[in-house]
Amino acid sequence: MSANQLFQPSAKPQPGKLNHFFMVCRVPRTQWSVTEPKHRYPTRADAETAARNLARQTGESFVILETVAVVTPAPDPTAKGLL
């Protein structure tokens, strides 16, 4: 599997559901590095497989990111002038 195949966009999160997923990105080299994970994996095992394949193909180290919370926009009940 090529790096391009591993980084294909996946389905968008569904509102109202806990969207627990994993993502893979290259380990940042500097404080100015940009991490840009592009694919969601449903299980940690899937993410580990992808990370190992990418590391083997690129010679770079990769990290696995896990969803800890999904924060959605909601009206602030204390804000004035919204309604």
- pLDDT digits over 1-15, tens only? 444 444 444 455 555
23 belongs to a structural domain: yes
pTM over 0.85? The answer is no
**Using one digit for the tens of pLDDT, what is the confidence trace for 14-38?**
555 556 899 999 998 899 988 888 8
Phi/psi at 42 (nearest 5 deg)?
Answer: -75, -25
pLDDT of residue 15: 53
Token reading at 39: 């694919």
Give the per-residue pLDDT at 17: 55
**What are the residue ranges of helices labelled H in the chain?**
3-6, 44-58
Q: For residue 46, give its domain range.
A: 3-9+19-66
Identify whether 79 is part of a domain.
no
Count up the domains in the chain and report the number. Answer: 1
